[in-house]
Amino acid sequence: MSKVIMLSMNGSTGKTLISTHLFLPRMNNPTFFAVETINLSASDLGVKRVETLAGRDFGELIELMVLEDNAIVDVGASNIEAFFAEMSRFDGAIEEFDKYVVPATPEAKSWKEAIKTISALAGLGIPAEKIIFLPNRIENDPREELPEAFEYLEETKEATIVDGAFVYESEVFDYLSFHSMSFNELIGENVDYRQLAKETKNKDKAREYAKKYRWTRQAIPVRNSLDAAYNAIMEVDNHAE
């Protein structure tokens, strides 16, 4: 059983992309809940089954959580204040989720708002081992790209920093979003698009296969890095138990 909630007081941190491409394909048939009213939802990225709620519907979410073994809850920035306010009204509400994942990109506004989110979670009584700080859109080394965030969290110990758990910057995510598809749908069953491009007599079809070859080659290492990030998060959680 695993119930993951994605939060940030700042928009544009990649919460929905991370929920869709990091957690959803690696969890055991989770239900996806989008606490969102105005921004991008997982349904826009091709997720077939998304339950949509507003931040003020926390009571309804608690009811639904009872019926789920595995779930992902993606809380939009526009709903987070209402969500926190409602959460504080329910006894034991913080126990409903196994992991509180707070993503942040290297932009100052993003990581500063991530720290505010983490501090708010800590203020609700959520233990640091349940709060996962997840660097996103990383070019090389997250510690070099978000040094102030790492320094703050290592000093306050309000959240868990998981070595190896971060998401690289890649244009593959834009490609997948545009086509509303997953990594597995793109990569497929080891289809040899290079060979198909060489064999077909149709020039348009050959170009299509060549383009697919390019994107699959680019997607495979990104998917592998997501595997590593997910496993690192799960390993830390297992040790915590």
Write out the chain's pLDDT in tens, 241 residues: 689 999 999 888 989 899 999 999 999 999 999 887 655 566 666 676 778 887 778 888 888 888 888 999 999 888 888 888 888 888 888 888 999 999 999 999 999 999 999 999 999 899 999 999 999 999 999 999 999 999 999 999 999 999 999 999 999 999 998 988 899 988 977 788 999 999 999 999 999 999 999 999 999 999 999 999 999 998 865 444 3
Query: 52 by DSSP, 3-state: which?
Result: strand
Helix, strand, coil share (%) of the chain residues, nearest 5? 55, 15, 30
pLDDT at 10: 85
Cross-strand bridge partners of residue 132: 101, 160
Predicted confidence at residue 77, as pLDDT, reads 86
According to the model, what pLDDT value does residue 41 have?
A: 60
**CATH fold label, 2-170+230-240:** Rossmann fold (3.40.50)
pLDDT at position 240: 43
pTM of the model: 0.88
d(CA 22, CA 24): 6
Long-range contacts made by residues 210-213, C-beta under 8 angstroms, separation at least 24? 212/186
pLDDT of res. 46: 61
Residues 6+ apart with CB under 8 A from 218: 170, 171, 172
Separation in Å, CA 112 to CA 49, 70, 104: 32, 30, 8
Q: Where are the beta strands (DSSP E) in the chain?
A: 2-6, 31-35, 50-53, 70-75, 99-104, 131-135, 160-161
pLDDT at 237 (0 to 100)? 57
pLDDT at residue 235 in the model: 82
- Structure confidence at residue 236 (pLDDT): 66
